[in-house]
Amino acid sequence: PGALDDSPAARRREQRGWYLYDWANSAFYTTIISVFLGPYLIPVAKTAACAQDFPGMASDQCVATFDDLVIANPGLGYVDVLGADIRPAAFFGLIMTVAVLLQIVFLPIVGALADHTGRKREMLGGFAYIGALATMGLYFVEGDRYMLGGVLFVVANLAYGSSVVVYDSFLPQISTPAERDTVSSRGWAIGYLGGGLLLALNLVLYLQHESLGLAEGMAVRISMMSAGLWWAIFTIVPLLRLRNRPVPAHESTALRSAGGSFRQLGRTLAELRRYPLTLLFLVAYLVYNDGVQTVIGNSAAFASEALKLDRTVQISAILMVQFVAFFGALLLGRLAGIFGTKRTVLASLVVWTAIVVVAMFVGERQALQFYLMAFAIAIVLGGTQALSRSLFSQVIPKGREAEYFSLLQISDKGSAFIGSLTVTVALQLTNSYRIAIVSMIIFFVLGFVLLALTNLPKAIRAAGNEVPERI
């Protein structure tokens, strides 16, 4: 085969295709994970428990009074999950946990296979369409089909995580070190825009379902199916634009089996000891990103429990964050070009610290104060993550991108339990959501210190890469 065209024009064409995969898959994250699936799936599980334990009652009435019925009948009100009795309210949390654990097992295998076979484009397409089809299948989750919903979500989430590992690993191949921050930030920004746009359309459908002659459940099912359809349609563009890179002959035959991939993960982790500064950066990212994910994950509960704000305020704040984060990611990408990437990320961590301190003082039912806090989060949210991704891409060895990005993706998904545990302990001890959110300061301060201690130019040189002018 001839040499790959690596001219600026060819790179830009690939970059534009690459951005659109973020636009495509963000619909799954915003519509399914952030807004619709949890609140929809729990009543479906309750319907199944009602049919089993309270067969004489009308289903709607039983679901509406389910918590009171369970208090009156403590031995009842469970659903069967592979032989275990699970409370309907705990079902969504359970499948989220299973989904994260499966990603921790599978993503390193995906990363190693992507690097060693060189078939990144085919793998990206395969995972994207498995995920999109499973997401479209959520349309069929109704009545008491809670297990169908659980299985489809776990499959879709695993495919989503796998596709993101392959997607991220294209970043060092389609951009020069100097372009990396801009390209990563644009991809992240366009993702917020795509996810936000579909969510806005779905919320209009959901809020107007009566005037459109739809039942509430049907509006949710259409919204969930639309996320899969959106993901499938827009994935076509990156698949047409992105190109596989040739893999050295000894690399392509190195991995023929999943067992080989597991050995490869062992080698990657062992090899990380040869790159202590890359490891230090990964730990720093793990710590501060844990704070970021936990603040985002608990913001709706904080709004309802601590601030007594209704669902409309929460949903409109989620929407605002999506669109403001588009500009925030681009702004931080621009600032990184002026002040350097590391300084920009450090400054964003100072802003995160200020946000969680201010959360202590937001008044009850003060929607405007909550919106202002959400606005501040949106400005730093995308930029912190996009610039961290581009920094990581500079400190990993060539030809091993997907493998290393699988570690980043695992630390992204798997580490969030430390932050969640901190919030749980704080709530257990103080029963205050304000104190629980303020406890996130530990993550931002520690992450700041660890990142400040990372000598990035030295880390980039140690990985065999060229140091960009600003870092």
Instruction: Look at residue 389 in the predicted model and tell me its pLDDT.
Output: 94
Q: CATH code for 268-470?
A: 1.20.1250.20
8 A C-beta contact, residue 419 and residue 293: yes
Q: What share of the chain is helix, strand, coil (3-state, %, to 5)?
A: 80, 0, 20
**Can you give 242-283 as a three-state secondary structure string?**
CCCCCCCHHHHCCCCCHHHHHHHHHHHHHHHCCCHHHHHHHH
List the chain domain ranges.
Answer: 1-246, 268-470
Spell out the residues 6+ positions from residue 93 whose beta carbon is closer than 8 angstroms to its own: none
pLDDT along the chain (471 residues), means of 10: 77 96 95 87 92 91 90 89 88 84 87 90 98 98 95 96 96 94 96 95 93 95 97 98 83 52 70 90 92 84 84 86 94 95 97 94 92 95 93 92 88 70 83 86 96 96 91 88
Distance, in Å, from the CA atom of 336 to the CA atom of 123, rounded to the nearest integer, reads 32
Q: What is the pTM of this model?
A: 0.88
Instruction: Look at residue 3 in the predicted model and tell me its pLDDT.
Output: 66
Q: CATH code for 1-246?
A: 1.20.1250.20
Q: How many residues in the chain?
A: 471
Instruction: Look at residue 262 in the predicted model and tell me its pLDDT.
Output: 62
Instruction: Look at residue 417 in the predicted model and tell me its pLDDT.
Output: 67
Nearest to 349 by CA among 426, 448, 415: 448
Query: Is-same-fold flag (1-246; 268-470)?
Result: yes
Angle at 136 between CA 134 and CA 141, to 5 degrees: 85
